[in-house]
Amino acid sequence: MDDYVVTVLSNIGMISFIALSAYLLLITGEISFGQQAYFGLSAYAAGAATSMFGLPIWAAVLIGACTAGLMAMAVGALTLRLSGLYFSISTLAFAEMMRLILLIVEVQVEVDGEMVGPDGANGFHDIRWMFERDISLTEFMLFIYGLLALVLIALLLVERSRLGSVFRMLGSDDLLTEMQGLNTVRYRILAAGMAGAIAGIGGALYAHFTTYVEPQFFNVMLGVHALAYGLIGGLGTAFGPLVGVAIDIGFLEAVRFIQGYRMIVFGGLVAVLLIFMPRGILDEERVHRLKALFSRGNHARAERH
């Protein structure tokens, strides 16, 4: 595979994390415009872990995910009592605040005679873990997809568990969920923390893939795309947002004649889908029908044996 293909595939993988993050909140009925904050926060935290403190990559990913997850829970505790639109606006405000704070954070330490660390508006350079260890782009891509597979399996298990039902109940009717004896605020904070941590894994990988991050990368457009992926791909299964990412980065990036018009095509696609498939391509109904089809297939096979 040439470097271009590997880079596109890696981007699909890394952006998938933030798409899954926004998706998890969407199924609980929350629209967050701020998941890029956790992606960015973790990119900084994980970048610092390897470049400034010489920690291994797995520790960096863990630190990034935990930092993002805990921050998301703290923000959630403050904002999740707000309803609907007010919550959405507060997530946007928090993410912008985060970005502006990263613009002024200057914490540098000397590593091997060079100053390394976040340098305010100049960004965070020299997150050179991949070069120092001579990791190839392809190897790192496999690492990305390995982690993505783990997160996806975890999410699919959650969806099959009672916790998954609770998340969808929250998205369906908040008061009715409370009336089942469930502490809805606590479950929402849990969902926010999980979503923050998932975005954080993506951010940690991103910092090490690009070796350089700056606050501007984590602006609101990233968060809006993350939302759009779930809405395009579908809210019926965790595969939905991945379909959304694949359509945007995979298809639109790859088809050359769309170049330059990508945002127009993407925006049009979102608008058309929201009219004709308001809960995306793989919505709950289609997912249910696919499952029924699949299990019928299994029954038929079992009967033939």
Q: Which residues bind other proteins (CB under 8 A)?
A: 161-163, 165-166, 168-169, 171-173, 175-184, 284-285, 288
Which of 123, 164 has the CB closer to other proteins?
Answer: 164
Closest by CA position to 105, among listed 52, 144, 141? 52
Closest by CA position to 57, among listed 65, 214, 272, 4? 65
Which of 47, 234 has the CB closer to other proteins?
Answer: 234
Which of 183, 216 has the CB closer to other proteins?
Answer: 183
Which of 71, 166 has the CB closer to other proteins?
Answer: 166
Local structure of residue 120 (DSSP, 8 states): G
**CB of residue 57 to other proteins, shortest distance in Å:** 30
Neighbours of 113 (CB within 10 A): 5
Report which secondary-structure segment, H or E, holds 111. Answer: strand 109-111
Owner of token pair 């809960």 = 279
Which of 128, 168 has the CB closer to other proteins?
Answer: 168
54 phi and psi, to 5 degrees?
65, 25
Q: What dihedral angle (degrees, nearest 10) is formed by the CA atoms of 42, 44, 46, 48?
A: -160
Which of 18, 27 has the CB closer to other proteins?
Answer: 27
CA distance linking residue 16 with residue 273, whole number of Å? 20
**CB of residue 272 to other proteins, shortest distance in Å:** 23
CA distance linking residue 231 with residue 234, whole number of Å? 5
Helices and strands (DSSP H and E) totals, the chain = 14, 2
Which of 146, 297 has the CB closer to other proteins?
Answer: 297
CA distance linking residue 227 with residue 265, whole number of Å? 17
Cβ pair 44, 102 in contact under 8 A = yes
**CB of residue 81 to other proteins, shortest distance in Å:** 12
**CB of residue 50 to other proteins, shortest distance in Å:** 34
What type of residue sits at position 101?
A: I
**CB of residue 78 to other proteins, shortest distance in Å:** 18
Cβ pair 166, 181 in contact under 8 A = no
